[in-house]
Homo-oligomer: A and B are copies of this chain.
Amino acid sequence: MEPSEFRRHGHALVDWIAEYLSGAERYPVLSRVSPGDVRNGLPTSAPEHGESFDAIFADFERVLVPALTHWNHPGFLAYFASSASAPGVLAEFLAAARNQQAMLWRTSPASTELEEVSLGWLRQLMGLPDAFEGVIYDTASISSLHALAAAREAAVPAVRNDGLAGRADLPGLSVYCSEHAHSSIDKAVILLGLGHRALRHVPADDQFRMRVDALQDAIAKDRAANLIPVAVVATAGTTSTTSVDPIREIADVCRRESIWLHVDASYAGVTAILPEYRVHFDGWEHADSVVVNPHKWLFTPMDLSAFYCRRMDVVRQAFSLVPEYLRTAEGSRGVRNLMDTGIQLGRRFRSLKLWMVLRHFGAEGVREVLTEHIRLARLFAQWVDEDVEFERLAPVPFRVVCFRARPRAMAAASAAELDTFNEELLAAVNASGDVFLSHTQLNGVLTLRVAIGHLNTAERHVARAWQLLREHTEQLLSLHR
């Protein structure tokens, strides 16, 4: 592509994206296409001759745009709502053009050192001690995988070289997390060869927090059965309700028992930037590792997961492997090469967007947005609490509200009928195109979730969700009558 052509298309994209970032609301949040629409709308093989960017972009608008579910839309209130802010998007544009690959310091001093700088900034903002060294991975799944791999390295003699199979010297292993922990912990345990049954899903209390007494019992039982406890994963912001496990008490258990403590704060961790919310994270300074995801609640585009570890030497011990073709003089002089702390050799210039986002917003700007999101969640919770047709199903520590419709007219309904009613309600609200909510299950009950997190989500979006929920509840009731 000629520079003049790149300029023309680039400028057009800037205008298009500018409109999108401020005007996403003209699209339905949840895509309305049917399975197969995209596949059937495109040729089954690559073109023989190159095509113009205009033709490519026309197909993007015709076939792909209707098939987008708009994560970057202020009405997106599902899962963990997030946002790609303008400075984050510009940073990704720059990063793509530079195509840095920071496996070694020398292959990208900028990316290597900016990773240290920006993770240092974020660490300080959250009040984590200096003893935590940081590294950026793509996702929390990979961060927690590294945490558990390091825990395995620390707990199992010679595991790097000898592995786990066929070793008469080795008993079974076990890992502990709450029954509300994220499925990425299950996947990591499976991948590491510990076996899914090595994962103890410790019961939670009535506020969905891991029960420390149950954790202690599980550890004692495993020790009695001669198993090796490898790690405890405490979650700060579980996926369903954003509940926070009692980190300090869990940390005490881990210290006493000499077990690796990993804190999965991928969702809620950034809230520690608010001094009044730091209490939720009390004790995480004693963890061995912590994961926090700026792409969840810190306005950076996918993907960027920040992994902090007190014992990064163990991660290196687990994974450092320097073939001749990657040996450098700097490496032997103690300069940090990021490939030594990860299973992925290739790494994009992800720190650029974190750095640009933190500078653009400043600590003050970040606090303002987080505070507003939390205010909106409390407001929504209050509406739910005050309406006799609805009930709230979990506390609201951050910005996610769990609730369901429980109409008085259905007082005699069975549990299954109430679940079906709420599924229908959810589908009707999402079909509006104005907002998109998701669901979970709590104590066997189908639960609706409102998750606030997009930068531009304002009171009117939350109010619209509430209005739709009430209207469709009435409509569904009249249909059922």
Contact = CB atoms under 8 A, between A and B. Distances in A.
Given A7-B18, A239-B323, A116 B227 contact: no
Contacts of A330: 35
Contacts of A121: 45-46
A105 interface: yes
Interface in A132-172: 138-142, 145, 149, 152, 156, 159-168, 170-172
A129 interface: no
Interface stretch (A186-194, A209-217, A252-260, A284-292): A186-194
Nearest to A112: B38
Contact of A67 (B3, B15, B113, B240): B113
Contact of A49 (B20, B139, B364): B364
A82 to B, nearest CB: 7
Given A96-B301, A195-B164, A14 B14 contact: yes
Interface stretch (A275-283, A341-349, A460-468): A341-349
A164 B162 contact: no
A39 B113 contact: yes
Contacts of A325: 79, 239-240, 438-441, 449
Contact of A163 (B18, B51, B160, B198): B198
A110 interface: yes
Contact of A94 (B47, B60, B78): B60
Contact of A113 (B38, B50, B69): B38
A356 to B, nearest CB: 6
B195 A141 contact: no
Nearest to A320: B187
A319 B187 contact: yes
Contacts of A321: 183, 186-187
A38 B109 CA distance: 8
Contacts of A92: 92-93, 95-96
A38 B187 CA distance: 37
B163 A172 contact: yes
Interface stretch (A83-91, A370-378, A385-393, A470-478): A83-91
B359 A47 contact: yes
B142 A344 contact: yes
Contact of A106 (B51, B69, B164): B69
A33 interface: yes
Contacts of A173: 163, 165-166
A413 interface: no
A410 interface: no
Interface residues of A, number: 162
Contact of A110 (B14, B67, B113): B67
B346 A301 contact: no
A394 to B, nearest CB: 13
A182 B325 CA distance: 10
Contact of A6 (B17, B124, B162, B347): B17
B138 A184 contact: no
A114 interface: yes
Contacts of A192: 191-193
Given A71-B98, A90-B53, A99-B301, A139 B105 contact: no
Nearest to A46: B121
Contacts of A193: 152, 159, 163-165, 192-194
Contacts of A110: 31, 38, 63-65, 67-68
Nearest to A326: B183
A343 to B, nearest CB: 5
B106 A31 contact: yes
Interface string A292-307: 0001000001110100
B360 A46 contact: no
The 5 closest A-B pairs by CB, nearest first: A163-B195, A193-B193, A166-B172, A10-B14, A92-B96
Given A45-B121, A71-B100, 19 more contacts: A1-B87, A31-B109, A35-B330, A38-B114, A45-B120, A48-B363, A48-B364, A51-B360, A56-B87, A67-B108, A68-B108, A68-B109, A69-B100, A69-B106, A142-B343, A159-B193, A161-B196, A163-B172, A165-B170
10 contacts: A1-B85, A3-B21, A33-B109, A39-B113, A51-B360, A141-B344, A164-B194, A165-B173, A165-B193, A239-B323
